Structure 1
Amino acid sequence: MPNQTDEANLLVVDDVPENLQALQALLQAPGMRVFLAGSGEQALELLLAHEFALAILDVQMPGMDGFQLAELMRGTERTKQIPIVFVSAAGRELNYAFKGYESGAVDFMHKPLDTHAVRSKVSVFVDLYRNRKRLARQVDALRKSRMEQELLLDELRNTKSELEHAVRMRDDFMSIVSHELKTPLNTLILEVQLRKLQLQRSNLAAFGEERLRQMVEKDERQIQSLIRLIDDMLDVSRIRTGKLSIRPSRFDLCQLVANVLESFGAQMDICGCTLHFEPCGPLFGRWDEFRIEQVLANLLTNAMRYGAGKPVSVSVRALGDEVCIEVRDQGIGIESKNLRRIFCQFERVEGAGSSAGLGLGLFISEQIVKAHGGRLLVESEEGRGALFRLLLPCNGDSAG
């Protein structure tokens, strides 16, 4: 049984109904549909509505004869490839066969028709039609397969590019981490070696009370620096795996900011930065106190790094359904093209007075703020300082 997609339509055109019925009975077979037309005009209507594997045209018909119909078929894009077989009851002396071939026919049969010959010839053209359709499907399948392969290749290229970028980021990260970890570690190791040398020489006088206090403070700073680096790396891992936890509790945001600023006072003095604070009175709400302190510490650290020793201003206030913390410096500023990039992993502002770091602080800070349902915004121009604005939802529990 032929595949349904390979079903072939045959068109038979003759002005004598008996001839149409006879050819229909002769040609009817599984996988073939025979369409009958009693005139050239009816045939044209069928040709516009269906696709045909073969057209069998009677030559002598009133109105539009078979030759005229063939010329119209050959002049139309939709029908010009349909094989045409002419049939005629006229004598061979009229030379209709020659005219039929000139009209583009592939064969010419004289009436009365040879049943076996008709079936054989029709079978040949139907097989050619089906093979042509199968070939067209195969070509379409190949074309589709090629397009899918091209899409797959594009995806592979993109994946390769992403992997290469990830490898570069990993290598850059490892390079930055190793450098940043070595800085406090080298200082600690040097201090330990100096103390070990003094002990070997029994020079205990080198460890007076004031000297010990200085060494302990210096060690503590280096250890805290290491802890911050490790905490940043752990936070990045938590963010990537969706495990950054937020534990809200009720506290006074204004008091938290004041406490953080007080802890930064000595560092600000060392950097030569004057700190201005504009409190607004009690501002209670439910946020993660540790995480908000972490964000504020990151913003203040950046203000010190890039503030060029100029004043840093911090303010806290309520804005409708939000609370706002602003940290403004007057340092080197940020180019407009980098305003979005600074919130990406391992990105740092480069310029005069900038210092090293993992480039994770603002990335982590933004993720923390987003986890609270808030926003971290920045306004800056190169050479004119930067303003970071931390906006948090009040959660219905804030009061000025």
Structure 2
Amino acid sequence: MLKEGDRAKILIVDDLPENLLALEALLKHDDIAVFKADSAESALELLLVHEFALAILDVQMPVMNGFELAEMMRSTEKTKHIPIVFVSAAGHDRNYAFKGYESGAVDFLYKPLDIHAVRSKVSVFVDLYRHRKEMKRQLEALERSRQEQEVLLEELRQTQTELQHAVRMRDDFMSIVSHELKTPLNTLILEAQLRKIYLGKNNLSAFTPDKLMDMVERDERQIHKLVRLIDDMLDVSRIRTGKLSIRTSRFDLAHLVTTIVENFMPQLKAAGCELTVDVPDSIEGEWDEFRIEQVLANLLTNAMRYGAGKPVHVKLDVQADQVELSVKDSGIGISTEHQDRIFRQFERVSGSEGVAGLGLGLYIADQIVRAHHGSIGVKSIEGQGSTFSVILPLNGAAAVEQARNRPVLVEKERRDMQDSA
């Protein structure tokens, strides 16, 4: 026994109950559901609710006859495609049949009804209905499949774009790393070759104490550059795996900032950057001293790179239960659309071509500050310089303990590729 929803529905309309019962008995079958209406009005109510495979209408009915009902069905979107078969006792009158076909009939049944003819014709229309339904289902399935394929294609396009971006990032990274590593290595190689030439010529006058000190200092600067590049790459690897170590201890942040600035004084002077410092006598709190030094060193390095020959201002201030450390330069500045991007891996400020660096400093600084449950931001106008501000909780031990229990790499990583694409 088929379910109601799987059975083809047939509507029979006749004003005589005995005709309805006789036709229902004739059409009754497991795969057919018969609906009866004793007037055109009742038929219209059923037509609004159900989807019929066939409508069998008696022509001669009071109030509204079968022809008029057929015309109404043809004028309504929901019912205009239902095949209509008229039942008539008027014989095979051509004009009568013509009027029926003009009203939308597909066939005529004449009384007295031929049982085999009725069942055969109904079977044909039911089969056609089922074929149409199946075709509709297949078309809908095809459309769903097409839409799913469109979604998959779009996902593939996005994946391809992300992969292309990742490849470009990798290639750019390798190119930058290669260039940045070669610069200090080439300098060291040239220095070593020059000394070898001096020694080969027995020119010991090139190795006076003052000249040796200069050589050692030059070597030391290049070695420090190499160490810093390698440390940056190692930090990125640690961040990616959630293994950036944060070890807090209580120390005086004001003293640390003053010490770092003093260590940078020779480099700032060589870059022509006049330095002003606004730091209180003492600010004690709990942070990772090595990592906070790393953040400030990155900010000062950028201030020298992008603001060479112009003033740099460092300020440290206490605000309620947090501290704010800011580094202000008067360099090339950063456009509004690039101010978020600069905290991502390998991103460089527009106009920074020829400036040394991997584009990792701000990314690492951002991750370190986030690991302290702090924040870092920038305010900048192109051509007028930039101010980088770091906000840290004054007592960050609890925050850092939470950070230890989760990966340091935050949600930015997933967004980076989409935004860059």
**Structure-2-length-normalised TM-score:** 0.89
Q: How many Å apart are 1:397 and its aligned residue?
A: 7.6
1:1-400 to structure 2, matched below 5 A, reads 6-93=6-93, 96-351=96-351, 355-395=355-395
Indicate the SS of the match to 2:192. Answer: helix
Change (3 A) 1:205 1:5: farther
User: How many equivalent pairs are there?
Assistant: 398
Change (3 A) 1:297 1:306: same
Q: How many Å apart are 1:117 and its aligned residue?
A: 1.3
Question: Is the Cα contact below 8 Å between 1:332 and 1:353 reproduced in 2?
Answer: no
Moved more, 275-284 or 87-96: 87-96
Residue of structure 1 in register with 2:409 after alignment: none
- The one-letter code sitting in structure 1 at the alignment partner of 2:163 is L
Question: Is the Cα contact below 8 Å between 1:278 and 1:316 reproduced in 2?
Answer: yes
- The one-letter code sitting in structure 2 at the alignment partner of 1:265 is M
Measured on the aligned residues, the alpha-carbon RMSD in Å equals 2.1
- Unmatched 5+ stretches in structure 1: none
- The one-letter code sitting in structure 2 at the alignment partner of 1:16 is L
Question: Is the Cα contact below 8 Å between 1:306 and 1:354 reproduced in 2?
Answer: no
- The one-letter code sitting in structure 2 at the alignment partner of 1:359 is G
Change (3 A) 1:395 1:4: farther
Q: How many Å apart are 1:82 and its aligned residue?
A: 0.6
Q: How many Å apart are 1:392 and its aligned residue?
A: 0.8
Moved more, 2-11 or 184-193: 2-11
- Unmatched 5+ stretches in structure 2: 399-421
Q: How many Å apart are 1:93 and its aligned residue?
A: 5.0
Q: How many Å apart are 1:350 and its aligned residue?
A: 4.7
Question: Is the Cα contact below 8 Å between 1:308 and 1:332 reproduced in 2?
Answer: no
Moved more, 221-230 or 204-213: 204-213
Moved more, 300-309 or 345-354: 345-354
Question: Is the Cα contact below 8 Å between 2:287 and 2:396 reproduced in 1?
Answer: no
Matches of 1:93 and 1:304, distance apart in 2: 104
Q: How many Å apart are 1:201 and its aligned residue?
A: 3.0
Matches of 2:209 and 2:100, distance apart in 1: 122
Matches of 1:233 and 1:245, distance apart in 2: 15
Change (3 A) 1:332 1:353: farther
Matches of 2:353 and 2:112, distance apart in 1: 105
Matches of 1:285 and 1:176, distance apart in 2: 37
Moved more, 243-252 or 54-63: 243-252
- The one-letter code sitting in structure 2 at the alignment partner of 1:40 is A
Question: Is the Cα contact below 8 Å between 2:373 and 2:396 reproduced in 1?
Answer: no
Matches of 1:325 and 1:150, distance apart in 2: 50
Q: How many Å apart are 1:286 and its aligned residue?
A: 1.8
Matches of 1:21 and 1:364, distance apart in 2: 86
Matches of 2:112 and 2:353, distance apart in 1: 105
Residue of structure 1 in register with 2:414 after alignment: none
Question: Is the Cα contact below 8 Å between 1:13 and 1:58 reproduced in 2?
Answer: yes
Change (3 A) 1:294 1:93: closer
Q: How many Å apart are 1:396 and its aligned residue?
A: 6.8
Residue of structure 1 in register with 2:411 after alignment: none
Matches of 1:12 and 1:337, distance apart in 2: 71
- The one-letter code sitting in structure 1 at the alignment partner of 2:197 is L
Q: How many Å apart are 1:3 and its aligned residue?
A: 8.0
- The one-letter code sitting in structure 2 at the alignment partner of 1:50 is H
**Structure-1-length-normalised TM-score:** 0.93
Change (3 A) 1:250 1:20: same
Matches of 2:353 and 2:132, distance apart in 1: 75
CA offsets 1:103-148 (integer angstroms, 9 cap, x no match):
2111111122111111111111000000000001111111111111
- The one-letter code sitting in structure 1 at the alignment partner of 2:108 is F
- The one-letter code sitting in structure 1 at the alignment partner of 2:147 is M
Matches of 2:123 and 2:160, distance apart in 1: 54
Matches of 1:390 and 1:93, distance apart in 2: 97
Indicate the SS of the match to 1:315. Answer: strand
Indicate the SS of the match to 1:345. Answer: coil
Q: How many Å apart are 1:353 and its aligned residue?
A: 10
Matches of 1:385 and 1:94, distance apart in 2: 96
